[in-house]
Amino acid sequence: MTTANVTSTSRRMLNKVPEVTVYFWVIKILCTTVGESFADYINETLGFGLTNTTLVFSIALVLVLVAQFKVNRYVPGIYWLAVVLISVVGTLLTDNLTDGQGVPLWISSTVFAVLLAAVFGIWYSRERTLSIHTIVTTPRESFYWLTVLVTFALGTAVGDWTLELTGWSPGVSVLLPLGLILAVLVAWKLGAGPVLCFWLAYILTRPLGANIGDYLGSDKSEGGLGLGTFGTSILFLGTILAVVVYLTVTDKDRSEAIHSDHD
């Protein structure tokens, strides 16, 4: 296939990610909670161990991403399944470094922050945009999913590091990322760059979702609601499934506009 044909094909692709609506943020937070609780359930409660759990979910993620890259438009079921799995894998990356290798959380946070900055830099230098409204070519989609993976790992490391430094209870720990997200929302309303605000909020939803998961799953004696990792996972997976089915039927978050490479 010639370069001209590749370009032509890319121009006909529909945006591969959903519109950023309230549904987007609701499912994203639910996915981050599942990433924390489900990884803990498989790893600790069922006793799979970090290595086996990471291997199983990594293989599943690769298979789903293959399906995601094959479709030429946003398909809610495939897309959000990829996000659920990538949330688990991103969590496990940090857990492997912290629990498996003994890497301090401040080092993990620094490494993932530098890596994220590098991904953004390469993405922008190649495509001249970081907007998720123009994920219409394979390179842009590759950068997008790599960025999502690193944000989950970074959010896990920063969130855990914050809890380590503060010693807050699960309920109180929800307030910090929630407050920061609200600050980003206010900044966006006051005219801050939408792309920057999106990615800041995207990163912050990871510790928010993880802290919500800890709050729901922790014992009541520890300040949680006592649902356990399994109960929390089932509750949130069921909610994600219901919302995704709704979006599939209604197309509420689908963009039908065809973008050019320069949008």
For residue 35 the two structure tokens come to 């990433």
Q: How far is CA 47 from CA 34, 79, 212, in A?
A: 18, 29, 23
Q: Do 206 and 151 touch, CB atoms closer than 8 A?
A: yes
Residue that wins the pLDDT comparison between 69 and 50: 69
Residue entry with tokens 């398909």: 75
Mean pLDDT of the chain: 86
Dist. CA 86–CA 83, nearest whole Å: 5
**Phi/psi of residue 29, nearest 5 degrees:** -65, -40
Domain assignments of the chain as residue spans, ordered by start: 13-250
pLDDT digits (tens, 9 = 90+) for 141-191: 999 999 999 999 998 888 888 888 888 887 788 899 999 999 999 999 999
pLDDT at residue 166 in the model: 87
pLDDT digits (tens, 9 = 90+) for 70-86: 998 899 999 999 999 99
pLDDT digits (tens, 9 = 90+) for 52-72: 999 999 999 999 999 999 998
pLDDT at residue 256 in the model: 54
Give me the torsion for CA of 49, 55, 60, 63, rounded to 10°. Answer: 180
The percent of residues above 90 in pLDDT, for the chain, comes to 49
Dist. CA 167–CA 155, nearest whole Å: 17
**Arithmetic mean of pLDDT, 129-142:** 91
Dist. CA 33–CA 210, nearest whole Å: 5
Q: Does the structure show a pLDDT above 80 at 13?
A: no
Q: How far is CA 188 from CA 148, 194, 204, 223, in A?
A: 21, 6, 15, 34
Note the pTM of the prediction, 2 decimals: 0.86
Q: How far is CA 183 from CA 103, 138, 178, 187, in A?
A: 31, 33, 9, 6
* Cα separation of the two ends of the chain: 24
